[in-house]
Amino acid sequence: QVQLVESGGGSVQAGGSLRLSCASSGDMSKLNCISWFRQSPGKQREGVAVMDTGVDTTSYSDSVKGRFTISRDAAKNTVNLQMNNLTPEDTAMYYCAARSCGASWSRMQPSWYSYWGQGTEVTVSS
């Protein structure tokens, strides 16, 4: 019954910003690790941001650190990804995913995540 739906993708010029949202429904009480992944053609799926909602901690990949911010809006059952100073290298399909956190909560291994959204496309032009 868990469902994740991403929104907010689109096209933007380099240096611009986008805000992605991941709306959840169903019983998310045990799925306290929420991550954003991205995948572009010819590249591996990459985790860019993760939040442990149980302790309000976040972690980011080096490629987006300082530019992206993951946050939660508990009232709306959403997790957001604010993306600033975008570059063409950020072009990808972006997915949100959820799992129950383990000791290695910040590890963003795609195979560890059981729940995924359908993705939202982000295109950054130069």
**Which pLDDT tens digit goes with each residue over 3-55?**
999 999 999 999 999 999 999 999 999 999 999 999 999 999 999 999 999 99
pLDDT for position 74: 87
**How far is the C-alpha of 2 from the C-alpha of 13, rounded, in Å?**
34
User: What confidence tens digit (pLDDT) does each residue in 52-93 have?
Assistant: 999 989 999 999 999 999 999 989 999 999 999 999 999 999
- Alpha helix positions (H), the chain: none
Q: Is the pLDDT of residue 103 over 90?
A: no
The confidence band for 117, taking pLDDT boundaries of 50, 70 and 90, is very high
